[in-house]
Amino acid sequence: MPSIPTISQATYEERLHRVQRAMREQDISWLLLGPSADLLYLTGFDAHVSERLNLLMLPANGDPSLVVPQLEAPNVGDAAKLVSLQSWADHESPVDLVASSVSGDIGAVAVGNHLYSAFLLRIQDAVMAESWIEAGDLMRSLRMAKDATEIELLEIAGRNNDLAWEAFVKAGPLSGLTERQALDRLLNLTMVQGTGQCWGICASGPNAASPHYSTGDRIIQQGDSVIFDWGGPIGGYYSDVTRTVHVGEPGDEFRKVYGIVLAANQVTLDAVRPGVACQELDRAARKLITDAGYGDAFLHRVGHGLGLEVHEEPYLVEGNDLPLEEGFVFSDEPGIYLEGRFGVRIEDAVVCTAGGGRRLNESTRELVVMT
């Protein structure tokens, strides 16, 4: 197994300073983040989402503090070197701590996208700010372009999916397994490579025609198309790959649709370069699929950003004119879904480099026929 690089304390410090600079430029007084990938990105603290408030409070100028439940304080770890801890016991009010820490002329407060609304409403009652805004734009400006260490982690995660897929294809027949059993086999093969807790979807036969179907107890049988969409973290950074196989020899229409999706995956990759708007990638795939007569069956955007979250900015969707930059990492995942019949999706993780798109996983995209 490759050695896993870690994010250094110096990098977290630099990220905190970078977001503070951006806050000053955008006239944002405070940044409030609950448990989230944003918090993990800035401090390395992987806080627990619950009814107990964890909140990073970062002023545009000055030092950050972390409101943390007393009994979760031991989990803060090295992040305690970056932020001062304000712990609270179960019978105390964490919002009082927040209110007493925020003083002076309070302008715009940016709130982490994933903070629970209940916490936001309580904080809005206790703190008089000029405005409350989403922290999403601020945070994505830091998080979208990955640095060399982040890309290395994403590469290892992608390679582990490749190794797992290669072993999975050789591991025996699919037919007779339930979707759950087939998926467990694939996830276990991924985790033995060193990947952390994996997530996944296995959708077989008509289930494969619903792009957000989750794995069930259907027994895979001859004649099915089967979609596997899965990944897991390496050092916090996720893989996300989809492969579609056919059980038994496929018919002509399946082969045709598979070829169209494969071509759409490639045309999307070919469109990647710095400066191209996110929506152009979606348009490239959609034009190819529409010209082939299946536009109505391509039910979702062509991709999403990938990093500390499986879905994050930037979204590759019509209406998003954000230009790609070097270091952006995202999925390239066109699909065609024919209701009641079958579905095909082929997905890779791609990094935008100066020279164009580069895939982070390389297991075969050619049609695999299994038994």
- Other CB atoms within a 10 A radius of the CB of residue 161 amount to 31
Q: Minimum distance from CB of 122 to a copy of itself (Å)?
A: 7
Closer to a copy of itself by Cβ: residue 71 or 369? 71
Q: Minimum distance from CB of 307 to a copy of itself (Å)?
A: 13
Q: Minimum distance from CB of 23 to a copy of itself (Å)?
A: 17
Q: Which amino acid is at 106?
A: I
| Nearest by Cα to 342 from 252, 216, 239 | 252
Report angle CA 181, 185, 190 to the nearest 5 degrees. 145
Closer to a copy of itself by Cβ: residue 300 or 358? 300
Q: Minimum distance from CB of 361 to a copy of itself (Å)?
A: 22
Residues in Cβ contact with 24 at an 8 Å cutoff, skipping those fewer than 6 apart: 60, 61
| Nearest by Cα to 99 from 69, 63, 127, 72 | 127
Query: Which residues of the shown chain bind a copy of itself in the complex (CB under 8 A)?
Result: 48, 50-51, 69-72, 74-75, 89-91, 111-122, 132-134, 136, 210-214, 299-301, 304, 311-312, 315, 317-319
Q: Minimum distance from CB of 32 to a copy of itself (Å)?
A: 9
Q: Minimum distance from CB of 81 to a copy of itself (Å)?
A: 19
Closer to a copy of itself by Cβ: residue 70 or 100? 70
Which DSSP letter does residue 42 get? H
> Rounded to whole angstroms, how far apart are CA atoms 91 and 77?
24
Q: Are 38 and 118 in contact (CB under 8 A)?
A: no
Q: Are 324 and 273 in contact (CB under 8 A)?
A: yes
> Rounded to whole angstroms, how far apart are CA atoms 324 and 161?
25
Closer to a copy of itself by Cβ: residue 181 or 210? 210
> Rounded to whole angstroms, how far apart are CA atoms 371 and 366?
16
Q: Minimum distance from CB of 249 to a copy of itself (Å)?
A: 28
Closer to a copy of itself by Cβ: residue 141 or 353? 141
- Would you give the distance in Å from CA 11 to the centre of its chain? 21
Q: Minimum distance from CB of 58 to a copy of itself (Å)?
A: 16
Q: Are 244 and 226 in contact (CB under 8 A)?
A: yes
Residues in Cβ contact with 170 at an 8 Å cutoff, skipping those fewer than 6 apart: none
Strand partners, 57: 32, 65
Closer to a copy of itself by Cβ: residue 183 or 370? 183
Give the pairing of strands 108-111 and 131-134: parallel
- What's the maximum distance between 2 C-alpha atoms anywhere in the chain? 71
Stated as kind and residue range, the H or E segment containing 204 is: strand 199-204
Closer to a copy of itself by Cβ: residue 170 or 212? 212
Closer to a copy of itself by Cβ: residue 211 or 250? 211
Closer to a copy of itself by Cβ: residue 103 or 117? 117
